[in-house]
Amino acid sequence: MTINKGILLGFTPSGSDEIVIHSGQFHGEVKF
pLDDT band for position 1 (cuts 50, 70, 90): low
2, pLDDT greater than 60: no
- Dist. CA 4–CA 16, nearest whole Å: 27
- Dist. CA 20–CA 29, nearest whole Å: 7
The tens digit of pLDDT for each residue in 4-25 reads 567 777 888 888 999 888 887 7
Name the more confident of 3 and 25. Answer: 25
- Work out how many domains the chain is built from and give that number: 1
SS3 content of the chain, % helix, strand, coil (to 5): 0, 35, 65
Range of the domain at 27: 2-31
